[in-house]
A = this chain, B = another copy of it.
């Protein structure tokens, strides 16, 4: 009988939060600015989240889940390690091309003092990296002694940092070509393959 929840409002809050955290950092993304950009009342988001922190945590969780799901799916449908890694990194690039704020958002918060990728997601990542190692070990594509940390570093962190450095123009360039994507992949695979 009361009016239905306007889903688009919640979406706009999410979008505004993501955008403002990317643009001005967590501290610079004030509730007022988020509400204003989303076109809702200041107090509205407290109907869904108990605090600004929780809102951002939840958003981070979802964005990281996207990445994890991508890798999970690849591992289920493919058995060539090289191809899995290639698809994963291409997937991260694709995400950055479609919605570059998603990657910048993850990047911004994974290094922020008050945030961390959740314990459960870290565990999931570790298991997936172990699967990659196991698979790569069986068909001789990867060095056997590889640690999950190394796989995580090269397959997740490295592409994310690469994209971040580019978008921020750290060493000049602010975008990337198809060749450069391939180079990131090659670079990653080379570092993981047996000596």
A41/B2 in contact, CB under 8 A: yes
Q: Does A50 contact B (CB under 8 A)?
A: no
A153 in contact with B161 given A113-B28, A171-B122 (CB within 8 Å): yes
Contact residues of A: prevailing secondary structure:
helix
- Rounded to whole angstroms, the CA-CA distance of A149 and B26 in the bound complex is 27
Question: A32 → chain B, closest Cβ, in Å?
Answer: 11
The A25-82 residues at the B interface (CB cut-off 8 A) are: 25-28, 41
Nearest B residue to A112, CB-CB: B25
Tell me which of A152, A157, A162, A191 has the highest count of chain B C-beta atoms within 10 A of its own C-beta: A191
A contact residues, total (Cβ < 8 Å): 35
A100 within 8 A of B: no
A148 in the interface, Cβ–Cβ < 8 Å? yes
Binding site for B on A (CB under 8 A): 2, 24-28, 41, 107-108, 111-114, 116-117, 122, 126, 148-150, 152-154, 157-158, 161-162, 165, 168, 170-171, 187, 190-191, 195
